[in-house]
Amino acid sequence: MIPVGATEAVSVDTRVLAATNRDLEEEIKRGSFRPDLFYRLNVIAVHLPPLRHRQDDIPLLAESFLARSATLRNEGVKMLRDDTLDALMAYAWPGNVRELENALERAVILSTGSVIDPDALPERVTARRAEPLVSERTPVSPTLEAIERAYIQWVLQNEGGNKSRAADMLGIDPSTLYRKLARYGEA
């Protein structure tokens, strides 16, 4: 595909072809596709899933890490003392899951017994209420409208600029597509 206005020829198509299968197409046709589809999107740029929005997940995540860690080290699973867990849940984890994982790994190493107490956690975690980081990075997702626009453009290109066919793909009336495009043009 040659992007509008560009001159580069690409060989993406090929791989796409290889990666596709009918089942998926079917599933997609009926509009039900899995979120992991969007994880891919994500990998490129869209969003940083903020762990701090899911504090309830922390116990589960922690448990899972501890279990894995125990397996890897051929040791028994270490437990979190209640207040240790509290600390974990209170912290904002700006580094998300990775940071949580690292902290727990460290804690496992530092703990001699089978119970992990708060002392084993990095200071920044236990320091209650680390003041809101200067640049509390607010993650950004594209606007619904932005997605619509981009997707439309993309389908349109795949249909060789044929608006009627593109409209069929999109499941809307050609006139509707026509107007949407017009709107995009203005703005």
Partner DNA sequence: AGTTGCAGATTTGCAACTCACC
Partner DNA sequence: AGGTGAGTTGCAAATCTGCAA
Interface positions with DNA (CB under 7 A): 161-165, 172-176, 178-180, 182-183
The gap from C-alpha 139 to its chain's centroid, in whole angstroms, comes to 11
Per-position DSSP letters for 12-24, written without gaps between them: HHHHHHHH--HHH
* Residue 79 interacting entry, from its own copies, DNA, none, C-beta within 5 to 8 Å by type: none
Between residues 95 and 119, which has the closer beta carbon with respect to its own copies?
A: 95
Q: Per-residue contact track with its own copies, 37 to 56, x per CB under 8 A?
A: xxxxxxxxxxxxxxx-xx--
Q: What is the Cα–Cα distance from 25 to 126, expressed in whole angstroms?
A: 49
Tell me which of 122, 148, 163, 181 binds its own copies, using CB under 8 A.
148
Q: Which is nearer to DNA, 38 or 178 (CB)?
A: 178
Does 174 engage in binding with its own copies (CB under 8 A)? no
Report the DSSP pairing between strands 115-116 and 79-80. Answer: parallel
Q: Which is nearer to its own copies, 119 or 179 (CB)?
A: 179
**Is residue 82 within 8 Å of 88, Cβ to Cβ?**
no
Q: How far is the CB of 93 from its own copies (least distance, A)?
A: 10
- The packing angle between helices 144-158 and 163-170, to 10°, is 130
Cβ contact 48:135 at 8 Å: no
For residue 118, the minimal CB distance to DNA (Å) is 21
